[in-house]
Amino acid sequence: MGALSIRNVKKSFGNTHILKGIDLEIEKGQFLILVGPSGCGKSTLLNMIAGLDDITSGEIAIGDRVVNKLSPKDRDIAMVFQSYALYPNMTVRKNIAFGLDIRKVPKPEQEEIIARVAKTLQIEHLLDRKPMQLSGGQRQRVAMGRALARNPTLFLFDEPLSNLDAKLRVEMRSEIKLLHQRLGTTIVYVTHDQIEAMTLGDRIAVMKDGEVRQFGSPQQIYDAPADLYVAGFIGSPSMNFIPVQLHEEDGHAVVELDNGRAVQKVRLSPISDSQRDFVGKQVVLGIRPEQLTDPESAHSERGNLQTLQATVAITEPTGPDTLVTVTFNGIKTVARCHPRAAGAPGQQVELTLDPTKALLFDPASEKRLA
């Protein structure tokens, strides 16, 4: 039995179905990310885990306790909110002590807990200030301190970094990760930011329209996305999707890419059974920008790299790499090249493609053809 089990959980308001049967399970100490665009139901799911929203049907268990009917305070959880939700009329110390007071923790023990939490988060010098006198990052720390003081079996984070500026967000992100590694608590974390999802999570649930599109480890989701949506959502710049016709040659999947001057044959991995059904039909070829690069940057140890010619449309230097936009089959395709090999608009460049990483999708069902 996992630390958190969500079994066929649904949420509806009349005929509007917010969540359409969610199944998730994580082990103790895991960091679960719920990621998706706004309106996908991820915050609703978190609120239901917290007990702030009712469950229409299904079951949520924390540890081995089904918590469907328990009020938030009896679920042994703590939550950090996007707006921090610090009590404005109380000092930092009182903010942390508020929950302890209610649970009738004796005063000396409260002092001990506050001191320990303040030390962990380095907010000792802020204890007697009011939230109004704190910066965004400090408020965020206090909000986490309030959650830590509770010492719950499950931490819930609702987009905790969205209100911070970019630099602070990166700092706090690694701090949350460090905290998780040190304390080993189970965390459920909601975000709309795929980078946060990738960097923090042990397990990621990519959600859309009230459904979990894919549930797996960050690398699984990155390398083997279940469908076009997940493939496009995770990764930045996002995956290129090129419509192609699928052929089979010597047991390999083969597609053709037209760069506007010539049609080039690309030999991919050995064809699988599910791919074989699509031979002669239109499919979508998915290539991540870093798998389409200049020959110099390509990993040469892989023997069967495919070479492609293309005309540069625009170049976008990011510093370490330059993003080169070319056209294949009429679709703008981004390649990640070494700045020296990026070429200039109008120039011909040579690109190499790692065929083992190229993915094929069914354009109708949008599922990946494994």
List contacts with another protein (CB under 8 A). 47, 50-52, 71-73, 77-79, 81-83, 85-89, 98-99, 102-103, 146, 150, 158
By DSSP bridging, strand 263-270 and strand 252-258 are antiparallel
Largest CA distance in the chain: 79
Give dist(CA 55, CA 57) in Å, integer. 6
DSSP string, 317-350: E-SS-EEEEEEETTEEEEEEE-GGG---TT-EEE
CB atoms within 10 A of CB 204: 29
39, amino acid identity: G
CB of 165 vs another protein, minimal distance in Å = 20
Q: Which of 165, 170, 161, 183 is nearest to 33 (CA)?
A: 161
CB atoms within 10 A of CB 37: 12
- CA dihedral (181, 184, 185, 186) positive or negative: positive
User: Of 146 and 169, which CB lies nearer to another protein in the complex structure?
Assistant: 146
User: Of 156 and 292, which CB lies nearer to another protein in the complex structure?
Assistant: 156
User: Of 158 and 321, which CB lies nearer to another protein in the complex structure?
Assistant: 158
User: Of 3 and 308, which CB lies nearer to another protein in the complex structure?
Assistant: 3
CB of 115 vs another protein, minimal distance in Å = 19
132, amino acid identity: M
User: Of 146 and 180, which CB lies nearer to another protein in the complex structure?
Assistant: 146
User: Of 89 and 236, which CB lies nearer to another protein in the complex structure?
Assistant: 89
CB of 79 vs another protein, minimal distance in Å = 5
CB of 83 vs another protein, minimal distance in Å = 5
CB of 13 vs another protein, minimal distance in Å = 11
Tokens linked to 6: 């969500």
CB of 81 vs another protein, minimal distance in Å = 4
CB of 350 vs another protein, minimal distance in Å = 54
CB atoms within 10 A of CB 304: 11
Give dist(CA 334, CA 237) in Å, integer. 8
CB of 110 vs another protein, minimal distance in Å = 13
Tokens linked to 139: 């408020």
CB of 179 vs another protein, minimal distance in Å = 19
User: Of 87 and 282, which CB lies nearer to another protein in the complex structure?
Assistant: 87
SS3 content of the chain, % helix, strand, coil (to 5): 30, 35, 35
Q: Which of 97, 96, 84, 180 is nearest to 135 (CA)?
A: 84
User: Of 81 and 241, which CB lies nearer to another protein in the complex structure?
Assistant: 81
Give dist(CA 88, CA 283) in Å, integer. 56
Tokens linked to 253: 């999947």
User: Of 154 and 358, which CB lies nearer to another protein in the complex structure?
Assistant: 154
